[in-house]
Structure 1
Amino acid sequence: MRKSAGFTLIELVIVIVILGILGAVAAPKLFNLQGDAYGANLNAMKSSISTSMTMANAKAQIQGKFGDLKGTTGDDVVTGYENIEFIGGYPKAINPKGILDTLDGFEVARYKVTLDKTITSAEAAKYEITAGRTALRISPATIVKDDCEVTYVQARAQKDGTGVDNTGAETYAPALVFADTVGC
């Protein structure tokens, strides 16, 4: 009777093939951690911008400042947001003097910031908003895809007949923030 002291060549080949298949399937999942980190970073940035936007808007409402404010002197300034330009009670989608300046510790050099880009019809349908609105887009400096970004859509005066309230004052569509992390 022959004693078996190890594995046969066929058993070793089968194990190597199985490990190869597992490696081919699992490795891309494990090594896409950088994309996940970018996505998490952008979601955190979206939350920070949204919180900052809401706080700035609350201060503007308390102070009764809703128009197009340059943030330089007297009635043109929302207290606590000096040198920040506002429209409709929200920080503008500009840089500098806009929404990014309301964020503490935001390092512009780490990001690609695209200013005054207009919302397209496709984006308007995706986000269920009006096309043509001014937007500020922020994406990681090392990513070149369009679907890995935070978009801050600036408030704007209503132009559809609903733009005046019962006192005759102009009303505004609110500012909005979206995060698209599909391509990260």
Structure 2
Amino acid sequence: MNVLQLRARAQGGFTLVELIIVIVILGVLAATALPKFINIGSDARKATVRAAGGALAAVSAMTHGKTLITGSATTAIDMEGSSVAMVNGYPSSAATTATAAGLTGDDWNIVVNGRDLMARSKSAPTPANCQATYSEAVVDNTVLTPARVAIVDSGC
């Protein structure tokens, strides 16, 4: 054999059977990994809604602490440039509470319904089922029910 024949034999490629086996293995790996990546968007929206609820709860706790220091349960509190109206020592359900929590109209639909402030994810398939709801404090027969935050993430 001459040098050219040796080089031709040394530079041989994959056989058709080897290529098919590799493609089948890659297909099996992709089929097992794909379901894990399908719900990433939903998981991200759920985490975002929970973070929004945490931000609303943090604003509520901070402003409540400020009202305890000042001694006035109805005086508006300044939170980084946002004037937050107070009701019974806790933030009201006005849109300024959402602004103080950093929830803007870019990512959230802010809906005020009576004593409830709802921050709904704009990117969710069902925004009403992907929201953080802040309910302002209520006094009933001199019994104070503090403000609370509820999360609904079934439609994220």
Same structural fold, with TM-score higher than 0.5 when normalized by the shorter chain? yes
- Counterpart of 2:110 in structure 1 is 113
d(CA) in 1 for partners of 2:103, 2:110: 12
d(CA) in 2 for partners of 1:20, 1:151: 44
Q: Give the aligned residue type for 1:151.
A: T
d(CA) in 2 for partners of 1:181, 1:57: 27
Q: Which has the larger radius of gyration?
A: 2
Specify every segment of 5 or more residues in structure 1 that has no aligned partner in the other structure, as ranges: 1-5, 70-76, 118-133, 165-170
Quick one: structure 1 residues 136 and 86, their matched pair in 2 at CA, closer, same or farther if it must change by over 3 Å?
Answer: same
d(CA) in 1 for partners of 2:87, 2:16: 75
- Counterpart of 1:53 in structure 2 is 60
Specify every segment of 5 or more residues in structure 2 that has no aligned partner in the other structure, as ranges: 1-14
* Aligned pair partner of 1:80 in 78, 81, 92: 78
- Aligned-pair distance for 1:109? 2.1
- Aligned-pair distance for 1:102? 2.1
Deviation per CA, 1:77-123, whole angstroms, max 9, x where unpaired?
3453573211111111121x3x11322x4322211122116xxxxxx
The answer on 1:143 being equivalent to 2:124 is yes
d(CA) in 2 for partners of 1:180, 1:173: 21
Please report the TM-score for the alignment, with normalisation by the length of structure 1. Answer: 0.61
More helix by share: 2
- DSSP 3-state at the match of 1:42: helix
- Aligned-pair distance for 1:25? 5.9
**Contact 1:155 1:174 survives alignment (8 Å):** yes
d(CA) in 2 for partners of 1:179, 1:107: 18
User: Structure 2 matches for 1:35-184, cutoff 5 A?
Assistant: 35-66=42-73, 69=74, 77-81=75-79, 83-95=83-95, 97=96, 99-103=97-101, 105-116=102-113, 134-145=115-126, 146-158=128-140, 163-164=141-142, 171-184=143-156
Q: Which runs of 4+ in 1 moved over 6 A?
A: 18-22
Q: Percent identity?
A: 23
Quick one: structure 1 residues 79 and 151, their matched pair in 2 at CA, closer, same or farther if it must change by over 3 Å?
Answer: closer
Please report the TM-score for the alignment, with normalisation by the length of structure 2. Answer: 0.70
**Contact 2:45 2:121 survives alignment (8 Å):** yes
Aligned length: 140
**RMSD (Å), alpha carbons:** 3.0
